[in-house]
Amino acid sequence: MRSVAVIGAGKTAFGAFPDRDLRSLAVEAGEKCLANGHVAPAQIESFYLGNFAGPAFVGQNHLAPYVSTALGIHGVPATRIEAACASSGSAFFHAWAEVAAGIYDVVMVVGVEKMTSQPTARVSQILAEAGDCSGEMKAGSTFASLFAMIARRHMHDFGTKKEHLSAVAVKNHANGALNPDAQMRKVITLEQAMNGRPVADPLNLYDCSLVSDGAAAVILAPLERAAEFTDKPVRVLGVAQASDYVALDQKESITTFPAVRRAAEKAYRMAGVTAADIEFAELHDCFTIAEIIATEDLGFVERGCGGPYVFAGHTTRTGERPINTSGGLKAKGHPVGATGVAQICDLVLQIRCQAGERQIPRHSLGLAQNLGGSGATCVVSILGAA
């Protein structure tokens, strides 16, 4: 297997952009990425598009060539990957596999979603299709209600408190306020976070990620060729994807996600590191409880200790292991099909020391965890300075 590097990265701002369509967002991210990697469209040998629900959100299918040709990329394999909110994390994994296996050298991955073209009720319904339509959806579940059950169970089993959930929101809003590309650049207090408008008890407005439009892109190449393109390659040290049941009622436990544990174990082994070595991370905080459980499933803390860990400040920018310095899905935004690649872009920014006001001092080994649905897909990627 060959060593692989990210040679280019680029993304749009995340937000609600009524005047932008899906393709223009994907093209903006793609063009920024090509320029960042000093790669011409004709040099791209394979193209992946991560997108969850373009057909439902904007009525467009066959999205991979729809976007690749608009970027001037012609004739090469153009493949769309759908894995709920882990769509572009999975696209990244498949692109990495192609380069690592020696099938292609220069592979581009774009993640995109345009969600705000639909009203919130319809957005919730489309997102719910990433759950089990024959059971959960029939019972009227939304992802907020599924993660509310997960939060309630975590509180019951481990004594996790509402303050712990709210501490995730306060931290991620503080980080988002420093990110010029974030959808929500608003600092909030613990009191505000605790008293947000109820969504699905115990989750309120501030426990939920945002409904967003946006796109992100990266280009991968063999490490040995990276210097042809950039003097700032970032190495992909480990990456793994794992899966689990879609429906919550099929899972043995709803307070841990085996797909995260499996993907993390493989990625750590591939990178030759342990959880303790990870200096910073972008985690999938689709709801605040999801970030807490991720810190446990990734082995940053023991099971049940994620709440007190964030509440004690260990995951702030100045803490022992900063988490979601981008603002996370909570404040940066969550255009679901773009999120996995956007996490990679944020790791690249930190590792290259280009994160501006959000730059953290220890930034040579970062991890991204991208979750699909309520844990049915997970991709864990570990990136480091080349």
Ligand X SMILES: CC(C)(COP(=O)(O)OP(=O)(O)OC[C@H]1O[C@@H](n2cnc3c(N)ncnc32)[C@H](O)[C@@H]1OP(=O)(O)O)[C@@H](O)C(=O)NCCC(=O)NCCS
Chain residues that interact with ligand X, rule: CB under 6 A: 85, 120, 124, 127, 143-144, 199, 205-206, 208-211, 286, 334, 336
**Least distance (Å) between residue 229 CB and ligand X:** 34
Q: Which residues pair with 105 in a beta bridge?
A: none
Residue with the shortest CB distance to ligand X: 120
* 69/124 with CB nearer ligand X: 124
**Least distance (Å) between residue 285 CB and ligand X:** 10
Token pair 């919550």 is found at 248
Token pair 């090509």 is found at 34
From 94, 173, 284, 334, the catalytic residue: 334
* Token reading at 54: 């373009």
How distant, in Å, are the alpha carbons of 29, 42, 64, 140, 160 from that of 340? 14, 25, 17, 27, 27
**Least distance (Å) between residue 295 CB and ligand X:** 18
* Token reading at 364: 């040579």
**Least distance (Å) between residue 80 CB and ligand X:** 19
* Token reading at 356: 């501006």
* 128/351 with CB nearer ligand X: 128
Residue 249: Cβ within 10 Å count: 10
- Cα separation, 8 vs 38, whole angstroms: 8
How distant, in Å, are the alpha carbons of 58, 125, 276, 314 from that of 321? 38, 35, 9, 6
- Cα separation, 221 vs 5, whole angstroms: 6
Residue 74: Cβ within 10 Å count: 12
* Token reading at 374: 């309520």
* 137/305 with CB nearer ligand X: 137
**Least distance (Å) between residue 98 CB and ligand X:** 28
Q: Is 94 a catalytic residue?
A: no
From 33, 85, 208, 345, the catalytic residue: 85
**Least distance (Å) between residue 206 CB and ligand X:** 5
**Least distance (Å) between residue 131 CB and ligand X:** 9
- Cα separation, 236 vs 233, whole angstroms: 10
* 145/230 with CB nearer ligand X: 145
Provide DSSP, 43-76: G--EEEEE-S-HHHHHS---HHHHHHGGGT--SS
* 200/242 with CB nearer ligand X: 200
Q: Is 85 a catalytic residue?
A: yes
Q: Is residue 381 classed as helix, strand or coil in its secondary structure?
A: strand
Bridge pairing between strands 107-114 and 46-50: parallel
* 96/206 with CB nearer ligand X: 206
- Cα separation, 249 vs 254, whole angstroms: 8
* 44/199 with CB nearer ligand X: 199
Please state at what angle helix 143-158 crosses helix 288-297, rounded to 10 degrees: 60
User: Which residues are identified as catalytic?
Assistant: 85, 334
